[in-house]
Amino acid sequence: MMHVRRSPQEIAANRARYEEHQKKGLEFAPKALPGPSRLPAPAIDAAAIIHQEIVPGGWYWSTRLLRGEAIRIDQGEGNSTVALAAWNAEDTSERINLVDTAKVQWTTALGKGRVIFSDMGRVMFSMIEDSSGAHDCLMGGSTAASNAAKYPGEKTRNTRDNLILVAVKLGLDRRDIPGILNLFAPVRLSEGGSFGWLGKRSNSGDYVDLRAEMDMLVGFSTCPHPLDPDPTYQPKPVVITRYKAALPLADDLCRTATAEAARGFENNALMQA
């Protein structure tokens, strides 16, 4: 096999450039993130509200969400996980991509000030508020099989089937269901790489506000997370409010917190020019 090696100088230059990006990424440059949003959630201006949906526990819902609008996902009476999927409304082959979201921001721990990327290097959502800081972008949702093992003999609904219903009713199909983000799911890894349900359990009143940075179709499922410690299937309703938000200003937190987010917004601007 032929293999022409790069020069040691070229390799050293590329390594140095990577290490510079890595240092900034891991040290929260240029901005430190603000920490969790305060509780209780401040009221949304009634005049800005477009729609409010109370999604029963274990169910699904989807909505169109335009650039400059936002959604608040509110735990209401608490202890529910909300699975989220999203597609670019103009071209549904562009969709939420959690592996890129984690990789480019150097963390799986999403919270206020972070952004959520599509597979095309563009920002789909800005996390403009988040009181929880405990979300899971790795494990995916429940399935018929995982629920059958966890709640034997009980009649349950699961996230996989919910998202099939969301996708198919939007004119998409099973192939179009992307990896999902679980909001309000405090999943973390041990040093050895195994998953645990750690730290704060999401609580009554926790909320996340996601601002849309492109026009999207957004799907939700409100089934218990596979690691939810409650042995009983009793998902609670979730309140999802779609409202008018301002477009991000030049000094917007989510747009400027990291060099990666800033470059993602530059890619959005090219699409939206």
- For residue 228, state whether it binds other proteins (rule: CB under 8 A): no
- For residue 117, state whether it binds other proteins (rule: CB under 8 A): yes
Integer Cα distance of 147 and 260 in angstroms: 38
Window contacting other proteins (CB under 8 A); options: 11-19, 40-48, 68-76, 249-257: 11-19
Whose Cβ is closer to other proteins: residue 78's or residue 121's? 121
- For residue 11, state whether it binds other proteins (rule: CB under 8 A): yes
- For residue 93, state whether it binds other proteins (rule: CB under 8 A): yes
- For residue 36, state whether it binds other proteins (rule: CB under 8 A): no
CB of 146 to other proteins, least distance (A): 7
Window contacting other proteins (CB under 8 A); options: 33-41, 67-75, 105-113, 237-245: 105-113
Secondary element (H or E) of residue 267:
helix 259-272
CB atoms within 10 A of CB 31: 13
- For residue 26, state whether it binds other proteins (rule: CB under 8 A): yes
Sheet hosting strand 69-74, strand order edge to edge: 49-55, 238-244, 69-74, 207-212, 123-130, 115-117
Window contacting other proteins (CB under 8 A); options: 36-44, 51-59, 188-196, 210-218: 188-196
Report cis status (omega within 30 of 0) of the bond before 40.
yes
Whose Cβ is closer to other proteins: residue 19's or residue 77's? 19
Whose Cβ is closer to other proteins: residue 143's or residue 203's? 143
- For residue 109, state whether it binds other proteins (rule: CB under 8 A): yes
Integer Cα distance of 136 and 150 in angstroms: 19
The token pair that represents 269 in the structure block: 């601007």
CB of 74 to other proteins, least distance (A): 24
CB of 14 to other proteins, least distance (A): 5
Strand, helix or coil at 78? coil
Integer Cα distance of 68 and 83 in angstroms: 22
Binding mask 131-170 for other proteins (x = CB under 8 A): -------xxxx-xxxx-------------x----------
Closest by Cα among 36, 68, 65, 81 to 181:
81
Indicate which single residue of 37, 97, 147, 221 sits in contact with other proteins (rule: CB under 8 A). 97
User: What backbone phi and psi angles, to 5 degrees, belong to 226?
Assistant: -55, -30
- For residue 174, state whether it binds other proteins (rule: CB under 8 A): yes
Which residues neighbour 217 within 8 Å (Cβ) at sequence distance 6 or greater?
62, 63, 64, 65, 86, 87, 89, 92, 170
- For residue 9, state whether it binds other proteins (rule: CB under 8 A): no
The two most distant CA atoms of the chain are separated, in Å, by: 68
At residue 182, what is the residue type?
Answer: N
Closest by Cα among 10, 43, 16, 74 to 207:
74
Binding site for other proteins (CB under 8 A): 1-3, 5-6, 10-11, 14-15, 17-18, 21-22, 25-26, 92-93, 95, 97-100, 102-104, 106-109, 117, 119-122, 138-141, 143-146, 160, 173-180, 188-195, 198, 226, 260, 263-264, 266-267
